[in-house]
């Protein structure tokens, strides 16, 4: 066959490639790091399962003491699969699908720990299933009559009323009330906050222990020097706490051995 530039078969082949490339372009990322952000109570987001192996990833921020309902409504997609992952994007916490059930598919999850991000992986359930869908996240029990971003039942339980502002610090520990809400520490106890509580030097490194709440994700930094900018802080690990107890977590800093002086910093992220 002649595939010269003016040949009709050549032009059809090019047109076919362009058409195929457009069909295969994906609308949402295929991994947790490329997740599309969903806003709780912010309405539905449309998506397309482009081919039978396409997975669309979403993420949303969850607040302590608050329940969430995730709804996947199918359009032309025959049935759907929705898996809920922890903030690390790797630990599956709930797997469900709509096969055999009337759509839409719903997944409920309540955050009994610290503020954290959740990831959602959506795909078609049956093989060779493609088509359109929409996904929405709703808060089931959110109450914030004073509009300070802190869940009112938590304020009443921990501070006696909703009178305290988000930026207040009645226990003078340096953590404002809203941070204590996110961290799930006690806003009325100066000893309850985000602190490095123990360092255990060993030949293989130093075991760093800090206050940690369930679902919390923490980032750890070390430095040999607090008095100047050099060498600054060195990041050595991130960890998500999955269990409710104990109320601390640990990570080894392998660069710090017995003979060295080290300072540590722990950061809460969500
Ligand atoms: Ca897609
Ligand atoms: Ca409030
Ligand atoms: Ca405080
Ligand atoms: Ca406190």
Task: Please give the domain boundaries of the chain with CATH numbers for all domains.
Answer: 29-139 (2.60.120.380), 152-269 (2.60.40)
Strands (E), 63-184: 67-74, 80-85, 92-97, 105-110, 116-124, 131-139
Helix ranges restricted to H, the chain: 8-24, 152-159, 177-183
Measure 265 CA to ligand 4 centroid, in angstroms. 18
Measure 215 CA to ligand 3 centroid, in angstroms. 20
CA–CA separation, 37 and 188 (whole Å): 34
> Ligand nearest 23 Cα, by number?
1
**Ion ligand 3: protein residues whose beta carbon lies under 5 Å:** 169, 171, 173, 175
Burial of residue 191, with CB atoms counted within 10 A of its CB: 0-12 exposed, 13-18 middle, 19 or more buried: exposed
Which secondary-structure segment (H or E) carries 226?
none
3-state helix, strand, coil in the chain (%, to 5): 15, 35, 50
Question: pLDDT per position in the chain (270 positions), as tens?
Answer: 343 444 444 444 434 334 433 354 688 999 999 999 999 999 999 999 998 889 999 999 999 999 999 999 999 998 899 999 999 999 999 898 888 665 689 999 999 999 999 999 999 887 678 899 999 999 999 999 999 999 999 999 999 999 999 999 999 999 999 999 999 999 999 999 999 999 998 888 999 999 999 999 999 999 988 877 777 899 999 999 999 999 999 999 998 886 568 899 999 999
CA–CA separation, 201 and 249 (whole Å): 16
CA–CA separation, 124 and 93 (whole Å): 19
> Ligand nearest 48 Cα, by number?
1
Residues, the chain: 270
**Dihedral angle computed from the Cα positions of residues 158, 162, 164 and 165, in that order, rounded to the nearest 10 degrees:** 120
């Amino acid at each position: 066959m002649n595939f010269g530039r003016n040949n009709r078969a050549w032009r059809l082949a090019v047109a076919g490639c362009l058409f195929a490339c457009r069909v295969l372009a994906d609308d949402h990322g295929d991994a947790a790091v490329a997740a599309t952000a969903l806003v709780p109570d912010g309405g539905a987001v449309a998506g397309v399962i482009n081919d039978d192996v396409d997975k669309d990833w979403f993420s949303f921020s969850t607040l302590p003491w608050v329940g969430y309902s995730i709804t996947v409504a199918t359009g032309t997609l025959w049935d759907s699969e929705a898996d809920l992952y922890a903030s690390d994007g790797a630990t599956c916490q709930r797997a469900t699908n709509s096969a055999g059930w009337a759509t839409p598919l719903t997944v409920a999850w309540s955050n009994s720990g610290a503020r954290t991000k959740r990831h959602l992986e959506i795909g078609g359930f049956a093989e060779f299933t493609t088509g359109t869908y929409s996904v929405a996240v709703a808060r089931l029990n959110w109450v914030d009559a004073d509009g300070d971003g802190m869940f009112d039942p938590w304020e009443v339980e921990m501070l006696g009323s909703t009178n305290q502002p988000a930026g207040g610090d009645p226990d003078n520990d340096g953590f404002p009330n809203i941070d204590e809400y996110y961290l799930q520490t006690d806003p009325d106890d100066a000893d309850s906050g985000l602190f490095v509580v123990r360092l255990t030097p060993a030949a293989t490194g130093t075991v760093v222990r800090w206050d940690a709440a369930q679902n919390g994700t923490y980032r750890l930094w070390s430095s040999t020097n607090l008095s100047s900018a050099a060498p600054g802080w060195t990041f050595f690990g991130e960890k998500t706490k999955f269990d409710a107890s104990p109320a601390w977590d640990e990570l080894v800093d392998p660069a710090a051995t017995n003979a060295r002086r080290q300072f540590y910093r722990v950061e809460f992220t969500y």
